[in-house]
């Protein structure tokens, strides 16, 4: 299979707890549970942060997390840096790389849509390689849309939130994937897509 290198991993992280805090309908989006690390271990069950001191931290979407939000197709999420550039251009610099909570952020020269990723994503590093099956778009939630717009109490039915939900859809917020094997990933690992014939 011919492969096209599209970029490299520039951020790895886990959500130690949910990024949505509080009670409905007044929940807010809080990025403080994000833990950025140099390495993570991924598997079909989810992501585990590998800390320099040898300690580990489960992502909230890992099947073994005590408050797991695993829905069977969302064990690992990926995003692309051009998507963040687009979000910042639209909403502001508070949308830092990784704030949407994806486990793997890939620096690329162009954005990607779900159709571009239908054959999966290959990551190669010092520990070998792993295929990620791309399951679906990570659709924007009310809380992230409020965060993007800096309108923490905006109603779902408001024109501003409806516009944000539409703008942030289509993969802008990222994609859910399932690894086809267990693997350790590091910053700088290279990322590939199959070349379409």
pLDDT at position 14: 98
Q: Which residues pair with 95 in a beta bridge?
A: none
Measure the CA–CA gap between 56 and 184, rounded to whole angstroms.
13
Q: What domains can be seen in the chain, in order of their start residue?
A: 8-183 (2.40.33)
pLDDT at position 1: 86
pLDDT at position 53: 92
Measure the CA–CA gap between 37 and 4, rounded to whole angstroms.
27
- Non-local CB neighbours of 58 within 8 Å, separated by 6+ positions: 14, 16, 46, 47, 48, 49, 64, 65
Strand 39-43 relative to strand 20-21, pairing: unpaired
- Non-local CB neighbours of 37 within 8 Å, separated by 6+ positions: 12, 13, 14, 49, 50, 51
Print pLDDT tens along the chain (197 aa).
899 999 999 999 999 999 999 998 889 999 999 999 999 999 999 999 999 999 999 999 999 999 999 999 999 999 999 999 999 999 999 999 999 999 999 999 999 999 999 999 999 998 899 999 999 999 999 999 999 999 988 999 999 999 999 999 999 999 999 999 999 999 999 999 999 87
pLDDT at position 110: 95
């Amino acid at each position: 299979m011919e492969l096209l290198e599209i970029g490299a991993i520039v951020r790895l992280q886990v959500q130690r707890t949910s990024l949505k805090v509080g009670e409905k309908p007044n929940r807010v989006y809080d990025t403080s549970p994000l833990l950025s690390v140099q390495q993570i271990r991924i598997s079909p069950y989810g992501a585990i942060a590998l800390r320099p001191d040898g300690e580990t931290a489960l992502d909230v979407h890992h099947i073994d997390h005590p408050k797991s939000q695993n829905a069977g197709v969302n064990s690992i999420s990926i995003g692309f840096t051009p998507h963040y550039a687009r979000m910042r251009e639209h909403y502001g610099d508070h949308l830092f790389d990784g704030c949407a909570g994806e486990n793997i952020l890939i620096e690329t020269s162009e954005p990607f849509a779900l159709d571009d990723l239908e054959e999966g994503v290959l990551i190669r590093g010092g520990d070998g390689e792993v295929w990620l099956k791309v399951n679906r778009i990570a659709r924007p939630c009310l809380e992230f849309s409020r965060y993007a717009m800096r309108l923490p109490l905006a109603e779902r039915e408001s024109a501003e939130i409806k516009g944000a939900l539409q703008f942030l859809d289509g993969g802008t917020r990222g994609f859910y994937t399932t690894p086809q094997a267990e693997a350790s990933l590091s910053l700088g690992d290279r990322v590939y897509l199959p070349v379409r014939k």
